């Protein structure tokens, strides 16, 4: 590893917005099971005739054992839990008002700016990097740029599903290396409750809402307490195992087409089996390239989809069963927050590390896509 230069990109600070409402597994399962009972009662004849299958109850034991999730934050709790609605209700706002996705992105961005002691006017670019964009245009990033009062500069949206934030960090770092920007915000607002089918037993427990922000800056501009970026790497490999077919061509399709796949759908077992080796190998290759060994890593901030997946990946990287200190979990309280998961883990569990400590931010998900960002605490 070469020594740091003034124009090298670093992580200056992070920010987090957590919605005030939280839904426990117990509350979620109770709501789903009431919905399933009502549905079975309404379809009793068809079920008895063997035309349709009865809906089977969901269980808190399954959810916690299979995923590690205990609760999730959401923008609107009561409509999600109402068996008649089972979707968030976020009233449409007039165009002149700040969009809800921009609003939570701005909240996270403001925290990152404050922690870095940075004035919004000094930021050159903002990337809105997330899975669930509220609209195609104008870009959410441009609205965030305006709401922050950034003035000159530019913003654009990017969607690489769960890996959006790490892809955003590499993009920001590349802008800085190329001299196209000195200070770049990577904002990941995720209202995943909008794209989740809360009536699907296989996936109704998976997601939560949140927003994160990462401020990437030139080393000579960043505050003293920053994180050197030792290396970033991105990977994609096509798979239909996690998919969302929602889009503007939906209305061009036949109206008789089943709409269940217009939400998040996945083959969870296949994802688990295919992504664990893919990501473990990617991390090992990247470590090799940087001349790092697992024993030199103080902490892993892994994507937060499944605790069992993270246990396996951390074991392969570190060479032993990781402690909670070595590979902290936030999905127990936040569930899967798509691109924001590894950034929440970094935000909440990096303050105690010491100068020289090395860690890895790693995301993975739909595409498939994966990103690795090795960082070292400066000082």
| Nearer Cβ to ligand COA (44/57) | 57
Q: How far is the CB of 103 from ligand COA (least distance, A)?
A: 24
Q: How far is the CB of 207 from ligand COA (least distance, A)?
A: 8
Residue with tokens 């979620």: 28
* Cis bond upstream, residue 296 (ω within 30): no
362 is catalytic: no
Largest pairwise CA distance in the chain: 73
Residue with tokens 């070292």: 376
| Cα–Cα dist 123/366, whole Å | 30
Q: How far is the CB of 139 from ligand COA (least distance, A)?
A: 23
| Nearer Cβ to ligand COA (62/156) | 62
Q: Show Cβ contacts of residue 111 under 8 Å, excluding neighbours closer than 6 positions.
A: 14, 15, 16, 17, 213
Residue with tokens 């931010």: 361
Structure tokens at 334: 């936040």
Binding residues (CB under 6 A) for ligand COA: these are 58-59, 62-63, 66-67, 162, 201-202, 205, 242, 266, 268-269, 271-272, 305-306, 309, 336, 365-366
Alpha-carbon distance values, 334 to 24, 292, 330, 368 (Å): 10, 31, 6, 22
| Nearer Cβ to ligand COA (221/278) | 278
Residue with tokens 């209305």: 251
| Cα–Cα dist 219/232, whole Å | 16
Q: How far is the CB of 69 from ligand COA (least distance, A)?
A: 8
| Nearer Cβ to ligand COA (66/98) | 66
Q: How far is the CB of 272 from ligand COA (least distance, A)?
A: 4
Assess contact for 123 and 13: CB atoms under 8 A: no
| Nearer Cβ to ligand COA (83/268) | 268
Exposure string for 281-293, b = 16+ CB within 10 A, e = fewer = ebbeebbeeeebe
Residue 320's SS3 state is coil
Which element (helix H / strand E) includes 68?
Answer: none
Q: Which residue is nearest to ligand COA (CB)?
A: 268
Which element (helix H / strand E) includes 39?
Answer: helix 25-42
Q: How far is the CB of 91 from ligand COA (least distance, A)?
A: 28
| Nearer Cβ to ligand COA (120/242) | 242
Catalytic positions, please?
162
């Amino acid at each position: 590893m070469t020594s740091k230069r003034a124009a090298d990109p670093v992580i200056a600070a992070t920010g987090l917005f957590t919605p005030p409402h939280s839904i426990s597994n117990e509350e979620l399962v109770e709501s789903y099971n009431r919905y399933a009972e009502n549905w079975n009662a309404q379809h009793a004849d068809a079920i008895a005739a063997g035309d349709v299958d009865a809906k089977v109850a969901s269980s808190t034991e399954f959810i916690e054992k299979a995923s590690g999730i205990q609760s999730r934050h959401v923008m609107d709790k009561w409509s999600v839990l109402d068996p008649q609605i089972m979707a968030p209700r976020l009233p449409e706002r007039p165009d002149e008002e700040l969009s809800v996705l921009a609003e939570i992105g701005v909240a996270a961005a403001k925290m990152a700016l404050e922690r870095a002691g940075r004035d919004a006017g000094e930021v050159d670019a903002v990337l809105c990097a997330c899975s669930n964009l509220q609209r195609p245009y104008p870009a959410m990033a441009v609205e965030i740029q305006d709401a922050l009062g950034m003035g000159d500069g530019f913003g654009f949206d990017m969607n690489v599903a769960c890996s959006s934030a790490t892809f955003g960090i590499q993009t920001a770092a590349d802008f800085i290396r190329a001299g196209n920007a000195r200070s770049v915000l990577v904002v990941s607002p995720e209202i995943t409750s909008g794209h989740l089918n809360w009536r699907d037993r296989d996936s109704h427990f998976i997601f939560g809402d949140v927003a994160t922000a990462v401020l990437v800056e030139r080393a000579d501009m960043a505050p003293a307490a920053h994180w050197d970026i030792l290396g970033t790497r991105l990977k994609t490999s096509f798979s239909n195992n996690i998919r969302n077919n929602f889009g503007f061509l939906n209305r061009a399709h036949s109206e008789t087409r089943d709409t269940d796949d217009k939400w998040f759908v996945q083959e969870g077992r296949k994802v688990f089996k295919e992504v664990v080796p893919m990501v473990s190998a990617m991390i090992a290759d990247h470590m090799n390239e940087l001349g790092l060994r697992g024993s030199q890593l103080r902490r892993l901030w892994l994507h937060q989809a499944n605790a069992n997946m993270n246990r396996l990946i951390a074991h392969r990287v570190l060479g032993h069963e990781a402690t909670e200190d070595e590979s902290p979990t936030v999905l127990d309280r936040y569930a899967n927050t798509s691109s924001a998961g590894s950034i929440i883990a970094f935000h909440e569990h990096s303050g105690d590390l010491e100068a020289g400590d090395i860690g890895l931010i790693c995301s993975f998900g739909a595409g498939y896509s994966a990103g690795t960002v090795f960082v070292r605490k400066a000082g």
